[in-house]
């Protein structure tokens, strides 16, 4: 054994699994056909790995929906409410996505990735028992291909720590699950007495407590007593766990040396354990510097017997796209600088051979040669390096990071300038994206209609929307974002230094995939991006029109970001590019500008000690974008979540004039946090839940506003819905917003 991958993507290089799943859900194919597609895909993926010389190939990294959900089934931790469904596949999908009679289980982000898992709902009284049919099937399939696979499982501690506990306590549930895991292991050993098991315990990269570590030792003393267990951690270092696990009978650990370069292997090595050095990045697409990585691994493992050193991916390759094979339109240079999952397999193999001084094949030599050229050209290419952009970043001063007047003073000027009433009403920006609108944009992109035609039609929609907003009496209007397909892509497509792939799909949840932009070079804004639309909208009304932009941190957090300079530098470049747009809007007469930072929260590091550094560059970037405007220009920001308790310092530091937040589904406890802190800015808490097609009545919005006013003073409150109007239908949006404005008018009368 020598090379490994933590896991391989399963959705298919042309999203075959996505298509099959959706066909099955809509009744177009049978369960057997879906299973056949899955089986074909697994075989194809194993064959790729085998041919690439990967020694430890996983089974059970496949899933029809999610691996955490698979674990739930495997442990018989299925919540009672799904037990009435007999067919196990139907039950599985009911848990994953709901059905006519069942609500889906909750879904949330897997650590700091954009992958979402189905949150287990655990009850200590559940009848936990082992069911490994899924693994047996996959194991036998792999065997047929001549592969002796490693079996991936999510370890008991991570599984429970990431769950919602409905009844019982965490520790007791973990202890109750250990025998079930032992049962699973025993069954796996029936397949092969020497079976290799990978237990994923990424929970341990997030500042574990003393109790967590004691539990870890106890659990793995039991589980590993007579099995070949490798514990995998990823996305950060897991040094506390590494030391503890060294004392248990595990075989070794797979560690992330890309995002956890602080990982120490000393304790493990001293205890005679094997170590997996995850040096090929499973989270980003840039080519690995093969020689540099080989030298690093060599240095790190000098004192370790070579058969105890494995080279692999930093985490599952699930988080990167499949193969460059289908990128036929990408710039050849850019293409040479990236590797997707398949190309990463070659990197792993060649690094391993260099580390072990094994002879390179002709093909290996080609890979290495190509790699050296890519690394060299990337350092100097004029497609990447733009001295003007670099100068602008190095010339940033403190002044660029601060508004010219403190909030308390400038807000007065803004009130004079904008003359909005108490409890001003607005929306978060987007309006319904209808099938006709999507078709219009597609037709334009495909050259089926002229630019002139396209613009005229979008402007017609803007005109209707302005008219509607005026009719119902909103105070600060928006243009509706009809020209945007996606809040990051729209800007990415117009910026220098950002590229788009054709087939760079990454699974986000279930059958859903996203195609993140590639920030490959110095970022700049060659020309106006939104000014034409927004000034057109403003020309139709006397009311203030809010200019709508995506913030620098969100641009970065939803992209593949270059790894050849600090993230901070890229963020500052992005911040300056968007600032250019802010200034252009202001110069064109726009008085209110909203800079959305939807993804600020999810970019937080997993380790507490790294939070300050992130906040520093992230918040500074936002301030660079928004600080150069006149004091009377009002800056809004928007964040679509309701968890702020641990990031309030950062939020305050952003120094926005108005922040809109998601609130309709929470109980105003969020607002209490803003109040207790004495948050200085104005706040727009969402007053109705747009996630449901239901139209809220005027009365219930009145109630909601009054509840908000019990916490916050009316002078600070804006009235708006939560974000996401673009996902709704006009028939839902129009009456809802009218009720919102009417409700506000009623509350104002009582003030
Ligand atoms: N302005 C964007 C919209 O209304 C914000 C989207 C978001 O925050 N997710 O769609
Ligand atoms: Zn939002």
Q: Give the pLDDT confidence of 253-286 residue by residue, as tens digits.
A: 999 999 999 999 999 999 999 999 999 999 999 9
pLDDT at 620 over 90: yes
Q: Beta strand 107-109 with 116-118: parallel, antiparallel or unpaired?
A: antiparallel
CA distance linking residue 72 with residue 59, whole number of Å: 17
Mean pLDDT of 649-670: 89
Ligand with an atom nearest the CA of residue 725: 1
Q: Return the best residue to mutate from 661, 723, 726, 727 for the ligand 1 pocket (most ligand atoms within 8 A of CB).
A: 723
CA distance linking residue 659 with residue 651, whole number of Å: 9
Mean pLDDT of 173-195: 98
Taking the C-alpha atoms of 361, 365, 367 and 373 in order, what is their torsion angle to the nearest 10 degrees? 180
* pTM, entire model: 0.95
Closest-lying ligand 1 atom to the alpha carbon of residue 428: 4
Question: Contact, 260 vs 274, CB < 8 A?
Answer: no
Confidence of residue 231 (pLDDT cuts 50, 70, 90): very high
Three-point CA angle 175, 177, 180, nearest 5°: 130
Is the beta carbon of 488 within 6 A of some atom in ligand 1? no
CA distance linking residue 4 with residue 95, whole number of Å: 32
CA of 484 to the centre of ligand 1 (A): 11
How many other β-carbons are positioned within 10 Å of the β-carbon of residue 457?
Answer: 18
pLDDT at 691 over 90: no
Burial class (CB in 10 A: 0-12, 13-18, 19+), 746: middle
Question: Contact, 660 vs 595, CB < 8 A?
Answer: no
Is the beta carbon of 733 within 6 A of some atom in ligand 1? no
Looking from the CA of 735 toward its CB, the CA atoms found within 13 Å total 9
pLDDT at 425 over 90: yes
Is the beta carbon of 487 within 6 A of some atom in ligand 1? yes
- Report ipTM (2 d.p.): 0.98
CA of 488 to the centre of ligand 2 (A): 13
Ligand with an atom nearest the CA of residue 428: 1
pLDDT digits 0-9 by tens, 573-594: 999 999 999 999 999 999 999 9
CA of 723 to the centre of ligand 2 (A): 5
- Among 278, 224, 214, smallest CA distance to 251 is for 224
Residue listed under structure tokens 């001084």: 357
Closest-lying ligand 1 atom to the alpha carbon of residue 723: 4
Least-confidence region, from 590-604, 655-669, 694-708: 655-669
Adjacent-strand bridge partners of 547: 593
Ligand with an atom nearest the CA of residue 640: 2
How many other β-carbons are positioned within 10 Å of the β-carbon of residue 282?
Answer: 27
pLDDT given at position 641: 77
Task: Give the 3-state secondary structure of residue 332.
Answer: helix
Is the beta carbon of 684 within 6 A of some atom in ligand 1? no
pLDDT digits 0-9 by tens, 57-101: 999 999 999 999 999 999 999 999 999 999 999 999 999 999 999
Residue positions annotated with a catalytic role: 691
Closest-lying ligand 1 atom to the alpha carbon of residue 548: 1
pLDDT given at position 428: 97
CA of 685 to the centre of ligand 2 (A): 12
Confidence of residue 1 (pLDDT cuts 50, 70, 90): low
How many other β-carbons are positioned within 10 Å of the β-carbon of residue 109?
Answer: 14
In 88-187 the beta strands, taken as DSSP E runs, fall at 107-109, 116-118, 121-123, 150-154, 164-167
Closest-lying ligand 1 atom to the alpha carbon of residue 639: 8
pLDDT at 643 over 90: no
pLDDT given at position 668: 80
CA distance linking residue 403 with residue 530, whole number of Å: 23
pLDDT digits 0-9 by tens, 487-531: 999 999 999 999 999 999 999 999 999 999 999 999 999 999 999
CA distance linking residue 686 with residue 213, whole number of Å: 41
Is the beta carbon of 237 within 6 A of some atom in ligand 1? no
Question: Contact, 491 vs 578, CB < 8 A?
Answer: yes
CA distance linking residue 187 with residue 129, whole number of Å: 12
Q: What is the DSSP string of 28-89?
A: SS-HHHHHHHHHHHHHHHHHHHHHTT-SB-EES---SS-HHHHHHHHTT---GGGTT--SHH
Confidence of residue 693 (pLDDT cuts 50, 70, 90): confident
Give me the chain's average pLDDT, please. Answer: 97
pLDDT at 287 over 70: yes
Nearest CA to ligand 1 atom 8: 598
């Amino acid at each position: 054994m020598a090379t490994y991958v933590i896991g391989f993507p399963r959705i298919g290089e042309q999203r075959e699994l996505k298509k099959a799943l959706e066909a099955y859900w809509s009744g177009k194919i049978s369960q057997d056909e879906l299973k056949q597609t899955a089986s074909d895909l697994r075989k194809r993926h194993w064959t790729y790995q085998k041919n690439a010389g990967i020694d430890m190939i996983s089974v059970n990294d496949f899933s029809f929906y999610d691996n955490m959900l698979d674990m739930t089934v495997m442990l018989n931790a299925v919540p009672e409410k799904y037990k009435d469904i007999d067919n196990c596949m139907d039950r599985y999908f009911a848990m994953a996505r709901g059905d006519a009679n069942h609500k889906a289980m909750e879904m949330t982000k897997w650590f700091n990735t954009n992958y979402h898992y189905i949150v287990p709902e655990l009850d200590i009284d559940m009848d936990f028992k082992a069911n490994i049919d899924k693994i047996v099937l996959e194991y036998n399939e792999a065997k047929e291909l001549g592969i002796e696979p490693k079996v991936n499982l999510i370890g008991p501690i991570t599984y429970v720590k990431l769950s919602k506990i409905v009844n019982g306590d965490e520790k007791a549930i973990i202890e109750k699950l250990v025998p079930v895991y032992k049962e699973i292991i025993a069954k796996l050993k029936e397949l092969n007495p020497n079976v290799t098991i990978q237990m994923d315990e990424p929970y341990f990269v997030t500042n574990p407590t003393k109790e967590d570590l004691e539990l870890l030792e106890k659990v793995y003393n039991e589980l590993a007593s007579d099995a070949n267990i490798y514990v995998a951690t990823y996305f950060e270092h897991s040094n506390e766990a590494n030391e503890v696990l060294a004392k248990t009978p595990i075989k070794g650990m797979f560690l992330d040396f890309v995002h956890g370069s602080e990982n120490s292997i000393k304790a493990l090595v001293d205890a005679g354990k094997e170590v997996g050095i995850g040096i090929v990045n499973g989270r980003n697409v840039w080519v690995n510097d093969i020689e540099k990585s080989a030298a690093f691994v060599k240095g790190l493992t000098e004192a370790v017997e070579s058969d105890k050193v494995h080279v692999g991916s930093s985490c599952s390759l699930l988080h990167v796209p499949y193969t460059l094979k289908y990128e036929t339109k990408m710039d050849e240079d850019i293409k040479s600088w990236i590797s997707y999952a398949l190309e990463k397999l070659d990197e792993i193999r060649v690094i391993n051979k260099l580390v072990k001084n094994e002879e390179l094949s002709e093909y290996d030599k080609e890979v290495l040669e190509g790699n050296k050229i890519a690394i060299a050209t990337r350092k100097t290419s004029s497609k990447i390096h733009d001295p003007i952009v670099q100068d602008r970043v190095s010339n940033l001063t403190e002044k660029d990071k601060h508004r010219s007047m403190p909030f308390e003073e400038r807000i007065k000027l803004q009130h004079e300038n904008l003359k909005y009433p108490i409890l001003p009403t607005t929306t978060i920006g987007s309006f319904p994206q209808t099938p006709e609108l999507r078709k219009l944009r597609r037709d334009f992109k495909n050259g089926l209609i002229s630019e002139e035609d396209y613009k005229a039609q979008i402007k017609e929609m803007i005109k209707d929307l302005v008219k509607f907003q005026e009719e119902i009496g909103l105070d600060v209007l928006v243009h509706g974002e009809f020209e945007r397909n996606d809040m990051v892509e729209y800007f990415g497509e117009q910026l220098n230094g950002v590229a788009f792939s054709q087939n760079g799909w990454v699974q986000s949840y279930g059958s859903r995939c996203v195609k993140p932009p590639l920030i490959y070079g110095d970022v700049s804004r060659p020309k106006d991006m939104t000014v034409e639309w927004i000034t057109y909208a403003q020309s139709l009304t006397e009311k203030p029109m809010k200019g709508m932009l995506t913030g620098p941190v969100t641009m970065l957090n939803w992209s593949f970001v270059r790894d050849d300079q600090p993230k901070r530098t890229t963020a500052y470049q992005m911040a300056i590019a968007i600032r250019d747009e802010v200034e252009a809007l202001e110069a064109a007469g726009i008085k209110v500008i909203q800079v959305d930072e939807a993804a600020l929260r999810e970019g937080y590091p997993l380790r507490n000690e790294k939070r300050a550094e992130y906040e520093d560059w992230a918040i500074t970037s936002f301030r660079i974008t928004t600080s150069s405007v006149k004091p009377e220009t009002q800056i809004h920001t928007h964040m679509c979540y309701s968890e702020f308790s641990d990031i309030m310092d950062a939020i305050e530091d952003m120094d926005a004039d108005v922040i809109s937040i998601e609130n309709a589904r929470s109980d105003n406890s969020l607002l209490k946090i803003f109040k207790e802190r004495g948050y200085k800015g104005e706040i727009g808490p969402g007053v109705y839940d747009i996630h449901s097609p239901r139209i809220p009545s005027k009365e219930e919005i009145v109630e909601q506003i009054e509840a908000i006013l019990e916490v916050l003073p009316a002078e600070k409150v804006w009235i708006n819905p939560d974000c996401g109007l673009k996902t709704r239908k006009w028939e839902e949006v129009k009456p809802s917003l009218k009720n919102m404005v009417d409700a506000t008018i009623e509350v104002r009368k009582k003030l």
